[in-house]
Amino acid sequence: MSIVELHNVRKAYDTKIAVHNLSFKIEPGSMFGLLGPNGSGKTSSIRMMIGITVPDSGTVTLFGQPFDRKNLIRVGYLPEERGLYKKMNVLDQLVFLGQLHGLDAATARKRSLIWCERMEITEAIPKKTEELSKGMQQKIQFIASLLHEPDLIIMDEPFSGLDPVNATLLQDTLVDLRKEGKAVLFSTHRMDQVEKLCDEIALIASGHLLLSGSMREVKSTYPRNRVQIAFEGSDAFLKHPAIAEGKNYNGLAEIKLAPSSDLGHAAQSILAEALSMARISRFEVMEPTLEEIFIERVRSHESAANFASRNGGNHAA
């Protein structure tokens, strides 16, 4: 049974179509990355999953049942635009939000205290929310979305504005929750985090689904044509004829190989040349990073869309 399933979902606002026939599934115990540039329809899609808005057509299935508001208390949502009552005391606020998700006051209070300890913000408990730092407020919001032990956790840009220590704390918490069998949906444009954390991804741009599937599948459709070499010495090897594009970032060469029937051999010959002029501390052949895939797919989608719109008039005639 999928936790969430979107089937041919479409949503149009006054001036533009926010989501075009979008379909994807999220399985229990998985981390799902919903990727896309700003304004691509990520938030619109999430809002339809949790009933803030209703799709114009298509269906949303939650926990194997057609969408029903009573299932929403099994969802935890961290919105991109954080919002807490500024004047409210932290504990009261957490208890209130917990109660809205169906907890009784005593349970909500008990769990809030446990979570504050786990998130290392016990000193914030008696304070008013407006007295806290931005990072602390974010942790409060994070706790608020998890108090009711949801089966589906939706995190819209959860790490933005957090320092590395706190980002890691949240990240590890989410990994633990996935181990417990919860499904986690990430919406972000930070590809490095997605690459590290997610098993499944869906990439959308201007409301269209560009690609989806498991991280392994997505990456394996791309050739292993990237080479990274960490070196000390001359970078003249970057002129090797098998290199389509090569950049030197302070002793880290990032190389894109020219199309070839034997990429492995090309990589070896570059390594041999590099060894002749520099000390090599690391050498790796790999698929393009998710970031590169993302940029490439979004660009080609945009140019195709521009092309289509430019030629649209001719087709109609």
Partner 1 sequence: MLHNTLLIARREYVERIRARSFIVMTILIPTLLGGVLWAVGLATGKSRSDVTIDIVTPAVGMADSQFGADLQSELATHKHPKITANVVAQPADGNRDKLDAQLKRGDIDGYLWVTPPSAGHTHIGFEWVPKSKSYLSAQNELADAIRIVLVRESLTHSGLGASDIAFVMSPIDLDSTQADKKDSADAAQASAYGLFFIMYFVILFYGMNVARSIIEEKTSRIFEVLLATIKPEEMMAGKVLGVGAVGLTQVAIWLLAATALSVFGLAQLGSDLSFKLPVSNMIYFVVFFLLGYILYSGLAAALGAMSNSEQELQQMNIFLMLPLIACNGVVFQVTSDPDGLLAKVFSFIPLCAPLIMYVRIAVHQPPWWEIAISIVGLVATILAVLWFAARIYRVGILMYGKKPNLPELLRWLKYS
Q: Residues in the site for partner 1, rule: CB under 8 A?
A: 14, 50-54, 69, 72-73, 75, 77, 79, 81-88, 96-97, 99-101, 141, 144-145
Of 144 and 255, nearer to partner 1 (C-beta) is 144
DSSP label of 288? P
User: In the sheet that 243-248 helps form, which strands lie side by side, from edge to edge?
Assistant: 243-248, 252-257, 226-233, 278-286
| Minimum distance, C-beta of residue 101 to partner 1, in the bound complex (Å) | 6
| Minimum distance, C-beta of residue 1 to partner 1, in the bound complex (Å) | 22
**264/260 Cα distance (integer angstroms):** 9
- DSSP string computed for 138-155: HHHHHHHHHTT--SEEEE
Of 102 and 223, nearer to partner 1 (C-beta) is 102
Of 73 and 308, nearer to partner 1 (C-beta) is 73
**125/119 Cα distance (integer angstroms):** 12
For residues 103, 78, 83, 145, the Cα torsion angle rounded to the nearest 10 degrees is 20
**49/3 Cα distance (integer angstroms):** 11
| Minimum distance, C-beta of residue 82 to partner 1, in the bound complex (Å) | 7
| Minimum distance, C-beta of residue 19 to partner 1, in the bound complex (Å) | 15
Of 75 and 298, nearer to partner 1 (C-beta) is 75
Report the half-sphere exposure of 158 (CA within 13 A, side-chain side). Answer: 32
Q: Are 289 and 195 in contact (CB under 8 A)?
A: yes
**230/304 Cα distance (integer angstroms):** 37
Of 148 and 226, nearer to partner 1 (C-beta) is 148
* 120 Rama sector, left if φ>0, alpha if ψ -120 to 50, beta otherwise: left
| Minimum distance, C-beta of residue 63 to partner 1, in the bound complex (Å) | 15
| Minimum distance, C-beta of residue 99 to partner 1, in the bound complex (Å) | 6
Of 186 and 237, nearer to partner 1 (C-beta) is 186
| Minimum distance, C-beta of residue 14 to partner 1, in the bound complex (Å) | 7
Of 152 and 274, nearer to partner 1 (C-beta) is 152
